[in-house]
């Protein structure tokens, strides 16, 4: 019980604190009476007053009541729901300061976790700071007391849906249609049985997947179709698992797509398949990977956690042979289709759980000149034990979690004899504390 948050009998008065640093989730960190306190809405260097929201054995949590001495980078948040909605955590910080803090966090993780000092940093990759989210999962909740349906992200540290009129970080085609989506769902007979809307926006089309917990009536289906026709959305319904997704409007919609302009490649994908949230940054990210991995004819390259081939196919246009490996059979199926559609015959794909032993996999017994890693937030620790076998002289690691990147960097440097040449931040999620990064390793 002592380790759990204590919310009863919390001090009611406000306390003063000086904010020393950022936590990984964007909260300010102060020390009060020797205990770390993570404070929502506080920035490093500020003096604030705050109230406690939870107290644990080793640390506490709070939220800002008043900013006594503001940080130079503090700005007025653009969204009126900032601080309530959990979709953003950095809107009170200038765009330049957000990048600076993310670079500091990345370097700090390398030092503390990876035990690697003095990491040269690339200039950060940046793009649009607003309207950039092409993928999202929106919560939906009918609230009888309000007499309407709420559509949006969940509130910060809460299971409730934030009451939003718009969302400035979502692609405008969706972010400016939240009231229309609320009205649509509120008109359905199953308005209290529709918990989620999956959003996917490609280069030319946009799709909405409505998750429904019971069958929609014929009138419901007609309303959903009419919404798609009016606002130019491809509309799908999902009754159970991913295999149950069916299109409503149009009856046979073409697949969504995005292009990598500098690589001359187009990808097609279904609305619920994984693609990067920020298309602009994704294009710049692929360009940077190609520049630092530098695949050339005669080389064999291994792409681990390859998804639908976002990096695999550009590599295949330059290297002699590319092997892509991914845990999702559906992603591998789509990757093969995209390779064929782009006329690439020098690439092969395999389905494998990269957190498990690979001893029986034929592709895992080969040698490779270069390796690309793009794992989930859990990182690539398990598969790194095979790196000596593969013998690659260069490794590029794309990460969505600086902590696991730093851990894995420590393994590559201290156990496998690689040097960390350079690293940098890619601002995939502006206005949030999320840090996407890239690192280059070469055999020492």
Catalytically active residues, by annotation: 400
Give, as one character, the DSSP assignment of residue 383: G
**Could you tell me which residues are beta bridge partners of residue 304?**
325, 373
Residue found by looking up tokens 């690539």 in the block: 380
Chain mean position to CA 348: 26
| Dihedral over alpha carbons 96, 101, 103, 108 (to 10 degrees) | 170
Q: For the chain, how are helix, strand and coil distributed in percent, rounded to 5?
A: 25, 30, 45
Chain mean position to CA 165: 23
Phi-psi region for residue 404, left (φ > 0), alpha (ψ -120 to 50) or beta? alpha
Chain mean position to CA 353: 21
Extended beta strands in 279-346, E state: 300-304, 321-326
CA angle 438/128/99 to nearest 5° reads 50
Tokens representing 401 are 């979690």
Task: Tell me how far apart the alpha carbons of residues 176 and 112 are, in angstroms, rounded to a whole number.
Answer: 42
Q: Report which of 75, 68, 24 is spatially closest to residue 45, judged by C-alpha positions.
A: 68
Sequence-distant (≥ 6) Cβ neighbours of residue 366 within 8 angstroms: 300, 323, 390
Q: Report which of 169, 137, 170, 166 is spatially closest to residue 154, judged by C-alpha positions.
A: 137
HSE of 93 in the Cβ direction (CA atoms, 13 Å)? Answer: 26
**Cis omega (within 30 of 0) for bond into 350:** no
**Contact by Cβ (8 Å): 64, 40:** yes
Task: Tell me how far apart the alpha carbons of residues 152 and 140 are, in angstroms, rounded to a whole number.
Answer: 7
């Amino acid at each position: 019980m002592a380790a759990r948050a204590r919310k009863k009998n919390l001090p009611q008065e406000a306390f003063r604190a000086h904010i020393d640093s950022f936590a990984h989730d964007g909260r300010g960190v102060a020390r009060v009476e020797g205990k770390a306190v993570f404070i929502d809405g506080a920035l490093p260097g500020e003096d604030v007053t705050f109230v406690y929201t939870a107290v644990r054995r080793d640390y506490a949590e709070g939220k800002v009541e008043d900013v006594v001495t503001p940080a130079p980078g503090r700005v007025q948040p653009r969204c009126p729901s900032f601080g309530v909605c959990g979709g953003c955590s950095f809107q009170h910080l200038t765009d330049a300061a957000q990048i600076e803090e993310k670079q500091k966090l990345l370097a700090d993780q390398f030092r503390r976790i990876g035990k690697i000092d003095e990491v040269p940093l690339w200039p950060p990759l940046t793009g649009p700071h607003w309207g950039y989210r092409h993928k999202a999962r929106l919560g939906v909740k009918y609230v009888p007391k309000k007499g309407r349906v709420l559509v949006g992200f969940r509130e910060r540290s809460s299971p409730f849906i934030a009451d939003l009129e718009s969302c400035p970080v979502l692609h405008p085609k969706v972010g400016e249609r939240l009231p229309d989506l609320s009205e649509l769902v509120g008109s359905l007979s199953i308005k209290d049985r529709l918990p989620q809307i999956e959003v996917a926006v490609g280069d030319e089309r946009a799709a909405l997947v409505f998750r429904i917990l019971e069958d929609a009536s014929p009138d419901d289906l007609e309303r959903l179709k009419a919404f798609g026709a009016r606002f130019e959305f491809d509309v799908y319904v999902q009754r159970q698992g991913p295999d149950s997704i069916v299109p409503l409007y149009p009856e046979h919609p073409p697949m969504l797509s995005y292009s990598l302009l500098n690589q001359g490649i187009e990808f097609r994908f279904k609305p619920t398949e994984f693609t990067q949230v920020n298309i602009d940054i994704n294009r710049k990210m692929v360009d940077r990977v190609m520049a630092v991995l530098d695949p050339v004819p005669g080389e064999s390259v291994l792409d681990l956690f390859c998804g639908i081939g976002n990096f695999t196919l550009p590599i295949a246009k330059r290297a002699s042979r590319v092997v892509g490996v991914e845990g999702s059979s559906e992603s591998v199926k789509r990757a093969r289709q995209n390779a064929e559609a782009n006329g690439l015959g020098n690439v092969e794909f395999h389905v494998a759980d990269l957190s498990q032993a690979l001893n029986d996999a034929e592709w895992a017994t080969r040698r490779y000149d270069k390796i690309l890693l793009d794992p989930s937030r859990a990182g690539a620790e398990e598969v790194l034990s095979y790196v000596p076998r593969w013998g690659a002289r260069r490794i590029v690691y794309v990460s969505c979690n600086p902590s696991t990147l730093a851990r894995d960097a420590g393994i590559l440097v201290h156990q496998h004899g690689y040097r960390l040449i350079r690293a940098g931040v890619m601002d995939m999620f502006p206005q949030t504390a999320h840090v996407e990064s890239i690192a280059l390793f070469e055999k020492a």
